[in-house]
Amino acid sequence: MRIYSKEDYRELDEKKFKLVQMDHDIKDEKFEQEPVGFFKDALIRFRQNKASVLAFFIICIVLFFTIFGPYMNSYGFNDQNSDTINMPCKIPLLAPLGICDGGKVIVNRRADLLGDPSYYPEGSILEVFNEREIQGVKMVDVKVDYYKYTGNGDKCFWFGTDYLGRDLWTRLWRGSRVSLLIAFVSVITNVFIGVIYGSIAGYYGGKVDMILMRITEIISALPRIVIITMFIMYFGTGLFAIIMALVVKGWVHTARMVRAQFYRFKQREYVLAARTLGIRDGILIFRHILPNAIGPIITSSMIAIPSAIFAESFLAYIGLGLQAPEPSIGVLLSQGQKVLLHYPNQSIIPGILISVLMISFNLFANGLRDSFDPTLRGA
């Protein structure tokens, strides 16, 4: 068998070559359709996921109320009124169904005062039950129209009022404004820091990884409460302090996750191939490996949004929440928790809102993850 050298090829006459497909149409020379970009493709795939689209609309509705809700009635978020403390929900539309009709059971009332209009104004008593005698005094439980009972028959608080008589509808939407702001800002910052940090640690490995990971260990070992107390000592209980407190430890989780993804993918064959082709580190990291992590990042950061609202509520729970009188979902929730068995509407309504946000962000995140997953591209 003859072995050809470079020189042999040079000697070949150019004329001996001919273009094989000269006469044929090249079918795959060009896409017939417009090329579909990464994001456009993602959008197409996202639209196919009905649940995610629905979730997206719910988020939009919540955002709508967050922006316009506080202006939908005449009460300001800090309008106090000592005559309307801890009122139950009253929504005229739902009242015929027997819920949110401003009714409330007040227990352990003296039976002899039932006829006294200074205690029970005209028409306020709906039902009297559970008659009993305690130490020789007749006691009853009374279901009253709490609005008439307190002399506020003409008023109407859709979600009730709090311990200072402030309208909870207004406070809820104003609160969700603040909470979402805290959540978005802190999550975006966390992802930004976490992705860069995690990529570097995961990609370079070895000593770099060792040192970077030890730093995250130190940070995550310091309990949040200590860090928060420090921040509050220096910056006060403002929006900034709370966001910072959420960021200081929050990014570590993202960083660890991204690093794990890098460990998982950096020795895959396609990465090796790309590296053989002499691709720079930066491009390898952000173009070839990181997209694999986008799924988990998006899922976890979308879920981190309601979690951030939770974390903020923990701060409120230990008394280090936002500066009064500014409400937030967390502030309302922690306030409501203390009176959960007395005025359930004060914790259930913010609870429902946070659940709805959680569900929506969750479904929305699922859709996003599927649509950004490079392995599912074009599928």
Residues 93-132 that bind another protein (CB under 8 A): 106-110, 113
Name the residue among 102, 210, 229 with its Cα closest to residue 156. Answer: 102
- For residue 93, count CB atoms less than 10 angstroms from its CB and return exposed for 0-12, middle for 13-18, buried for 19 or more: exposed
The answer to whether residues 246 and 312 touch, using CB atoms and an 8 Å cutoff, is yes
Q: In what order do the strands lie in the sheet with 103-110?
A: 103-110, 137-145, 125-134
Residues 134-173, one symbol each (x = binds another protein by CB under 8 A, - = not), give xxxx-x-----------------------xx---------
Q: How far apart are CA 303 and CA 354, in angstroms?
A: 12
How many positions of this chain bind another protein (CB under 8 A)? 85
Establish if 313 lies at the interface with another protein (CB under 8 A): yes
In the complex, the smallest distance separating the C-beta of residue 296 from another protein, rounded to whole angstroms, is 7
Residue closer to another protein (CB basis): 54 or 95: 54
Residue closer to another protein (CB basis): 92 or 223: 223
- The span of 11-19, 27-35, 124-132, 318-326 binding another protein (CB under 8 A) equals 318-326
Q: How far apart are CA 283 and CA 274, in angstroms?
A: 10
Residue closer to another protein (CB basis): 95 or 227: 227
Establish if 78 lies at the interface with another protein (CB under 8 A): yes
Q: Give 212-230 as a DSSP string.
A: HHHHHHHHHHS-HHHHHHH
Q: What one-character DSSP code corresponds to residue 156?
A: -
103 backbone dihedrals φ, ψ, rounded to 5°: -85, 155
In the complex, the smallest distance separating the C-beta of residue 358 from another protein, rounded to whole angstroms, is 3
Structure tokens at 155: 């008023």
Of residues 239 through 298, those in contact with another protein by CB under 8 A are 253, 256-257, 260-261, 263-264, 266-267, 281, 295-296
Residues 356-375, one symbol each (x = binds another protein by CB under 8 A, - = not), give -xxx--x---x--x---x-x
In the complex, the smallest distance separating the C-beta of residue 145 from another protein, rounded to whole angstroms, is 18
Of residues 12 through 71, those in contact with another protein by CB under 8 A are none
Residue type, 175: G
Of residues 172 through 231, those in contact with another protein by CB under 8 A are 203-206, 209-210, 214, 217-218, 220-223, 225-226, 229-230
b (16+ CB within 10 A) / e for 309-331: bbbbbbbbbeebbbeeebbbbbb
Establish if 324 lies at the interface with another protein (CB under 8 A): yes
The gap from C-alpha 109 to its chain's centroid, in whole angstroms, comes to 44
Residue closer to another protein (CB basis): 95 or 143: 143
358 backbone dihedrals φ, ψ, rounded to 5°: -60, -50
In the list 48, 73, 130, 355, the residue contacting another protein (rule: CB under 8 A) is 355
In the complex, the smallest distance separating the C-beta of residue 29 from another protein, rounded to whole angstroms, is 29
Residue closer to another protein (CB basis): 117 or 319: 319
